Amino acid sequence: MDKLLIRGGRPLHGEVRVSGAKNAALPELCAALLTAEPVTLHNVPRLQDVATMLKLIRNMGVRADWRDDGALVIDASDLHFPEAPYELVKTMRASVLALGPLLARFGEATVSLPGGCAIGSRPVDQHIKGLRMMGADIVVEHGYMIAKLAKGRERLHGAAIATDMVTVTGTENFLMAASLAEGETVLENAAQEPEISDLAEMLIAMGARIEGHGTSRIRIQGVGRLHGCTHQVVADRIEAGTFLCAVAAAGGEVMLAGARADHLEAVIEKLRAAGAQVQAVEGGIRVQATGRLQAQSFRTTEYPGFPTDMQAQFMALNCVAAGSSKVTETIFENRFMHVNELVRLGARIQVDGKVAVTEGVERLSGATVMATDLRASASLVIAGLVADGETLVDRIYHLDRGYERMEDKLRALGADIERVK
């Protein structure tokens, strides 16, 4: 099992290119199931979750090939097995995104209940509720969601869907299913993340009729068929935010090529308040940090608020910042598992339910730590970059699910980091 060995104490300098967003690429791979024509995706990150999704759709009979120029071409014209089995779904929650497209195009789908990171309950009941409103019969048995069109129906139909809570994957499933449904679908309380808008733009390029994406109310006029398209996956705002926090903690000056400052406003606001210089420049974001920054309190919430996917990384920065900070996690009930590992490095953190209070220390001390989920692993890497001595991060398969060659990118910026067996 691979590990990361980090020798801390080096500032970061240079330029790094931000990869395509995992959380956009995964639903867009599923969106390619909506048409029998080829779909070409550029800027798809080479990640473990992407490899898992490709394995999943290839198992259905889909062709998916990497071109020499790095583009990915998906051809679902021979899709003959509309099923996502447990052995391919268990490691990745995003597999649930196959449900809407398969049901919309083929009238049936069998999808295992999803797995993924152990960061709390993320139920699929909202997906089932919305698709039932669109005319699907769905039963859950033996760990599978078994969906078919209601008796007498040839297509899904439009509906007014208001979810009980904001759900990103739910919004994405409804967007894809509604694109081929009969009539109009209106999504209320829709997720507003940039990845939602990117998926909508891809669907529009395929011939879908969508308005309001990027807001909490999305309208979709269903069409009879969708065609192929060429689409570029949006830059990964969470990878960009992770590197912003790494520079803020370790010091230095870095250009994040391809990053979108308008997708990270809540994080950038906190970094500026902490004392980092963050500028939106042509082609990306430039960040500079010198000396010890000031700790910042924040509360995670749905986009455009502070993202839960950046909570652990910013907490790592707070561990070595001056002063105390309070972090309130409102999205997932189990997302402080990185705290015990940061404490092993010398951090001073107290957790009470959904609140973690951090008292900044002047320095951390290297140790062996264990990643518990994707973003927790990134926080441990940041902490290792500033800790005295050697830090060994175990279970980095979590990191590989969401970060493309992270150690290579950090090494190019001057970090002393290597992957070891």
Active site (catalytic) residues: 117
Instruction: Round to whole Å and give the CA distance between 234 and 404.
Output: 15
Residues 6+ apart with CB under 8 A from 14: 254, 255, 412, 413, 414
Q: Identify which of 136, 139, 164, 138 has the alpha carbon closest to the alpha carbon of residue 150.
A: 136
- For 194, 241, 258, 298, 310, the CA distances from 263, given in Å and listed in that order, are 7, 10, 12, 17, 13
SS3 282: coil
Q: Which region holds residue 129: left if phi is over 0, alpha if psi is between -120 and 50, else beta?
A: alpha
Q: Please give the single-letter amino acid code of residue 355.
A: V
Q: Identify which of 201, 194, 171, 203 has the alpha carbon closest to the alpha carbon of residue 34.
A: 203
- Pairing between strand 324-328 and 298-299? parallel
For residue 97, report the phi and psi dihedrals to the nearest 5 degrees: -70, -10
DSSP secondary-structure letter at 315? H
Return the residue matching tokens 């879908």: 208
DSSP secondary-structure letter at 264? -
Instruction: Round to whole Å and give the CA distance between 90 and 113.
Output: 8
Strand boundaries in 20-155, DSSP class E? 39-42, 63-66, 72-75, 83-84, 108-112, 136-141, 144-149
Angle of helix 99-106 relative to helix 125-133, nearest 10 degrees, comes to 20
Instruction: Round to whole Å and give the CA distance between 100 and 203.
Output: 13
